[in-house]
Structure 1
Amino acid sequence: MTWSALILAGTRPGGDPLAGTEGKPHKALIELEGTALLERVSGALREAGADRIAVSCDHPDVVALARSLDLEVLPTGQGPSESTAIAFAELGAPLLVTTADHGLLKPEWVRHIVESTPRAADLSIMLAERGDIEAALPGSKRTYLRLADGAWSGCNLFYLQHEGAGRAIESWKAVEADRKRPWRIVRRLGVSTLVKYALGRLSMAQAIEMLGLRMGVRASLVKAPDGLAAVDVDKPQDLNDIRELLHEGRA
């Protein structure tokens, strides 16, 4: 089976402060061990087996680097969900979606979500458990969603396996806005599900499946095989942690 990949590399309004501290015009150009983030991410996707790799970007320097890496360049939307919709219309399914700041991305993580997604699922989302993250990188500060089966953090890895996944992209924008307020996400699932959440009986897998049904798709959780899959370059401390991991050979 062949699949395509999308790297989200849009420009934040006002620019990214982390890029500025690194002396770069865009976060995707920040270097780790002499290699730009965009090149690291695209290299991992290519090694994982992506048939086509596209970058959703609007900064001229990122566009130039993407083209030098033989990546397809696609226009950006108003946010990640709209950019994904544009790419999905161009590339179709299956489509693996990730971000340009996923500096530790490994080919095996990509293959894991592709191969672990149930064949009947329209889409899957990779999340990592807090215990795995803290074991891999003690002291790491992440945003967690706490449910009955523990606390989970996103890995910026989504697999849109079937064309039906397109129905979820529009709803993604609203869910994305509530990602740090899990009760609002759960509220979209209906009263009975909200009660299960309040009683501590709703697991992450159940929440994703039910949220998918409300969107009209079959959605599945894929647990990250490594806690480091949830560590991206979002804050200066993240960048320091990643550089230390790479220097010590632990990533």
Structure 2
Amino acid sequence: MTPVSDSNMSAGDFPSDQKPLWTAIILAGQRPEGDPMAAYCNVQYKALIPINGQTMLERVARALIASPYIGRMVVMAQSPEDLKAGLSPDLAEHDGFAFVESNDGIATSIHDIIGSDIAPWPVLVTTADNALLTGEILDRFFQAHSGQDVAVGVVERQTMLAAYPDARRTWLKFRGGAYSGANLFALHNAAAKPAVAFWSAVEKDRKKGWKIFAHFGPWLLLRALSRTIGFKDAMAQAGARMSLRAEPIILPIAEAAIDVDKPDDLELVTEILERRERQ
């Protein structure tokens, strides 16, 4: 299928057999003062940390490029040319691969390009440190997407602990379960733009769920803090405040919620990849 580049159209505007492929945005930037994991691994950029023979960015890019759901990829970073130079030539020169310079705000940078010719709808956002991303994870995510304006991939705590009982993640706790993010965000159409604009205002609190829900009023905050509301209902109510449909997509694969934020993560991801590649 040829990717559709009309920035005014979304997947919902097409017959089911003619839906456009997704644009995948890979966030590969880092803090202006440098990244602790990059320093720990003695590389200039976190995205170029090598794991078992491939950089994290390359692993994510190869998973995306192999997916039948993805038609275009955009790497967003403060120094995109440096990251391009760190990729294998077959990836760096791929026709469906673009490199875009970001500013200091992740959400603002995304907001500036989604729906444009650079990143036509629908858009999937992920991160370069999502090194365990696989075709199976992407399949599960896209197959569960049913037209939500905004969808967020998560893993429930029991799924994680059953596979990795010692894994330490950040958990958002709601009635019926606790969830950790999978670094997969579906932005389906222009209705998602207010959510991205909102994210730019709360970006610094992204790992503190209660602070995010506080922006939607005291009642939703109280229900989130008291765990008298489920995650799906909480997202639906937050989305309704922005006149959009928002839902979590709960993935049954523990590895979907394991990224590389600290040395322990890097050790675990390395072990998992070594085990996979021995099979």
Fold-level similarity (TM above 0.5): yes
Corresponding residue of 2:106: 80
Correspondence list, 1:28-47, <5 A: 28-47=47-66
Q: Is the CA contact 1:55–1:66 (under 8 Å) kept in the aligned structure 2? A: no
Equivalent pairs counted in the alignment come to 250
Q: Distance in 2 between matches of 1:215 and 1:63?
A: 36
Structure 1: stretches of 5+ with no match in the other structure: none
Corresponding residue of 1:236: 263
| Equivalent AA in structure 1 for residue 256 of structure 2 | A
| Equivalent AA in structure 1 for residue 250 of structure 2 | K
Corresponding residue of 1:16: 35
| Equivalent AA in structure 2 for residue 82 of structure 1 | T
The one-character-per-residue Cα deviations of 1:85-140 (angstroms, maximum 9, x if unpaired) are 13313312101110001010011212222221122x21100111111112222211
Q: Distance in 2 between matches of 1:15 and 1:114?
A: 33
Q: Distance in 1 between matches of 2:25 and 2:103?
A: 14
| Equivalent AA in structure 1 for residue 247 of structure 2 | S
Q: Distance in 1 between matches of 2:141 and 2:202?
A: 21
| Equivalent AA in structure 1 for residue 30 of structure 2 | T
Identity across the alignment (%): 35
Q: Distance in 2 between matches of 1:58 and 1:184?
A: 28
Equivalent of 2:250, from 185, 208, 223?
Answer: 223
For the aligned residue pairs, the C-alpha RMSD in angstroms reads 1.9
Q: Distance in 1 between matches of 2:230 and 2:43?
A: 41
Corresponding residue of 2:11: none
Corresponding residue of 1:65: 86
Q: Is the CA contact 2:173–2:227 (under 8 Å) kept in the aligned structure 1? A: no
Give the direction of change, closer, same or farther, for the CA distance of 1:21–1:94 in structure 2 (3 Å limit): same
Equivalent of 2:219, from 181, 192, 213?
Answer: 192
| Equivalent AA in structure 1 for residue 185 of structure 2 | F
Deviates more, 1:24-33 or 1:174-183: 174-183
Q: Following superposition, which runs of at least 4 residues in structure 1 exceed 6 angstroms of deviation?
A: none
Q: Is the CA contact 1:96–1:159 (under 8 Å) kept in the aligned structure 2? A: yes
Q: Is the CA contact 1:7–1:100 (under 8 Å) kept in the aligned structure 2? A: yes
Task: Tell me how far 1:234 sits from its aligned partner.
Answer: 0.7
Equivalent of 1:113, from 122, 138, 141?
Answer: 141
Q: Is the CA contact 1:16–1:27 (under 8 Å) kept in the aligned structure 2? A: yes
